[in-house]
Amino acid sequence: MRIVIALGGNALLQRGQKPDAAPQIDNVNIAVDALAPVAKEHELVVTHGNGPQVGVIALQSANDPKLSEPYPFDTLGAMTQGMIGYWLQHAFKNALPEREVVCTVNQTLVDANDPAFDDPTKFVGEVYNEEQAKQFEKERGWVMKADGKYFRRVVGSPIPVGIVEIETIKTLVDNGTTVICSGGGGIPVAQKDGKYVGLEAVIDKDRSGAVLSEELKADMFMILTDVPAVLDNYGTQDECEINRATPAELRDKGFAAGSMGPKVEAACQFVERTGGVAAIGRLADAQQIIAGTAGTIITTDGQYDPK
């Protein structure tokens, strides 16, 4: 099968970990240990989040006295694509030395008039307490919102409408290359007067992954996170895993916008537009999800037969 897998940025830099390179590289190696068997058996395309990482680099840029102004978020997105993509490429090449592995720095097309620019929702960077958050709002003009019991910076997250370099990515995949692309949702760009221009935003990697999967004609789009499946009645005594579902059934559950909601929406979008299979589950269960024995699997009729 042709499989697109989306890895969360928090899987690479977990809550509470220092944003040093070493722990992130360790986490990447753990991720690739789980994904290398998939790459051996299938055409694999990997995309990843960058929320924690792009926030760290944005803070460094804002604190650099040599800069007259911080680097813009499209440039920061390109930096994280190269950094995380290199770590993944390095780990895949070590795990599968016979396989060609490529990381691309690529752009994702959005609408410059997307209302998301006026209502930032995408979490980036580290977590802070309420006092620190208020200080950043006052001193830096950042927009801060609650993320669980902490606060994090938020930026605009427009809806992706296309992958600019999709034909190059297709060619690589068609030739048997394991491709790491659209990292951080892709570098956000819009078209103005026939030219591409970068934008101050961070695109949701799951929504971008759904577009990438559709344009690649993938058989399966997998969103791998730190939970075993989509949970119904989350946080209550009736909490339970949803193992099979249709897009309509999942949408009826009304998952929170700040947590599972974007993942569910991205998975449903892919299934509705292509008739393919989407799945949400734990990174360590990647092979079992493909086999149909783990995770939440979303199809047009709610059924899944891996054979």
Structure-token pair, residue 191: 């078209």
- Which residue type does 19 have? P
122 part of the active site: yes
Catalytic one of 9, 77, 85, 156 = 9
Q: Is 307 a catalytic residue?
A: no
Of 49, 55, 122, 186, which one is the catalytic site residue? 122
Token digits for 242? Answer: 């949803």
Q: Given the residues 125, 186, 263, 276, select the one marked as catalytic.
A: 263
- Look up 192 and say whether it is catalytic: no
Q: Is 246 left (phi over 0), alpha (psi -120 to 50) or beta?
A: beta
Neighbour-count burial for 128-162, b at 16+ CB within 10 Å, e otherwise: beeeebeebeeeeebebeebeebbbbbbbbbebee
Q: What is the 3-state secondary structure (H, E, C) of the chain?
A: CEEEEEECHHHHCCCCCCCCHHHHHHHHHHHHHHHHHHHHHCEEEEEECCHHHHHHHHHHHHHCCCCCCCCCHHHHHHHHHHHHHHHHHHHHHHHCCCCCEEECCCEEEECCCCHHHHCCCEEEEEEECHHHHHHHHHHHCCEEEEECCEEEEEECCCCEEEECCHHHHHHHHHCCCEEECCHHHCEEEEEECCEEEECCCCCCHHHHHHHHHHHHCCCEEEEEECCCCEEECCCCCCCEEECEECHHHHHCCCCCCCCCHHHHHHHHHHHHHHCCEEEEEEHHHHHHHHHCCCCEEECCCCCCCCC
Active site residue 9: yes
Q: Can 148 be counted among the known catalytic residues?
A: no
Cα R_g (the chain), whole angstroms: 19
Which residues participate in catalysis according to the annotation? 9-10, 122, 205, 263
